[in-house]
């Protein structure tokens, strides 16, 4: 039986991707991810290994994409 994660709904949940790579914590991480994706819809993802420069580059591309004419 899966345990329902305790999530505060007044802020965005934080998921640490490093838990996915640990075989002992992976099932709990996936359970949390599934619950949050279905019931909250958004979350912060940490532990992904992307440096600040790469994140800024991705954000720049995102802004450019949404600025395109339809």
- Across the range 13-36, mean pLDDT stands at 97
In a domain? residue 8: no
Burial zone of 59 (CB within 10 Å; 0-12 exposed, 13-18 middle, 19+ buried): exposed
In a domain? residue 59: yes
What's the pLDDT score for residue 42? 94
Q: How many domains does the chain have?
A: 1
What's the pLDDT score for residue 2? 64
The pTM of this model reads: 0.70
Tokens of 59: 């954000």
In a domain? residue 33: yes
Q: What is the pLDDT of residues 35-67, one digit of tens each?
A: 999 999 999 999 999 999 999 999 999 999 999
Q: How crowded is residue 13: how many other Cβ atoms within 10 Å of its Cβ? A: 19
Which residue segment(s) compose the domain that 18 sits in?
14-67
């Amino acid at each position: 039986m899966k345990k329902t994660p305790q999530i505060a709904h007044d802020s965005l949940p934080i998921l640490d991707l490093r838990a996915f790579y640990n075989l002992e914590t992976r099932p709990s991480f996936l359970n949390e991810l599934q619950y949050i994706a279905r019931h909250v819809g958004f979350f912060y993802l940490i532990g992904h290994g992307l440096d600040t420069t790469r994140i800024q580059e991705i954000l720049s591309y995102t802004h450019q994409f949404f600025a395109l004419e339809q």
